[in-house]
Amino acid sequence: MTQNLSKVEPKTSELYESDFYAWTVEQAKFLRNSDWSNLDISNLAEEIESLGKQDRRELRNLLRVLIEHLLRWEFQANKRSNSWSNTIDEQRFKFLGLLQESPSLKPYLPDAISEVYKYALKLAISETSLSKETFPQECLYSLEQILDFDFFPGE
């Protein structure tokens, strides 16, 4: 007997639009009970894809914050503090945790560094009030350095 996986009761797809949380609870129940005919396949697929995109966004944000703080650490030596180094280490810890949970993001990292560097640079310039010329226009830190808990540029 073949089940039609694309069949969705109107109530289920309507619930997605009207009460997302209730929809997630309902879909989880359908999955656990192997109730394939009531699954909202289209919206489930969309939500699963968005989870992967969310991890990529989080990775980019953590990387941007890390690079920004490393730039500030290097070029604003007079403002260094334990709190600042703790922030850098915390971002590294979160970044490595995300990579451990989603190792398939690793091939994305080289491109991500060059993509986020311009934003990290802009924020570092804004936060430090130093001139644009003070900073390198391309990221000089390798991924290994960025993630190394012993790496603090300029020390």
Q: What residue type is assigned to position 73 of the chain?
A: W
Tell the residue number behind the tokens 């430090």, with chain if given.
Answer: 128
List, for the chain, all residue ranges whose pLDDT scores fall below the cut of 50: 1-2, 5-6, 8-9
Residue 123: the pLDDT is 95
Structural contact between residues 41 and 6, judged by C-beta atoms closer than 8 angstroms: yes
Task: Give the integer Cα–Cα distance in Å for 134 and 117.
Answer: 15
**pTM for this predicted structure:** 0.78
Nearest residue to 55 via CA among 103, 9, 7, 3: 103
Structural contact between residues 61 and 120, judged by C-beta atoms closer than 8 angstroms: no
Residue 1: the pLDDT is 43
Rounded to 10 degrees, the C-alpha dihedral 31/34/38/39 comes to 40
- Give pLDDT tens digits for 113-131: 999 999 999 999 999 999 9
Residue 4: the pLDDT is 52
Q: What residue type is assigned to position 14 of the chain?
A: E
- Give pLDDT tens digits for 36-59: 999 999 999 999 989 889 999 999
Residue 115: the pLDDT is 93
Residue 8: the pLDDT is 47
The per-residue DSSP string of 52-87 comes to HHHHHHHHHHHHHHHHHHHHHHHH-GGG--HHHHHH
- Long-range pairs for 79-87 at CB < 8 Å and ≥24 separation? 85/152
Domain assignments of the chain as residue spans, ordered by start: 54-147
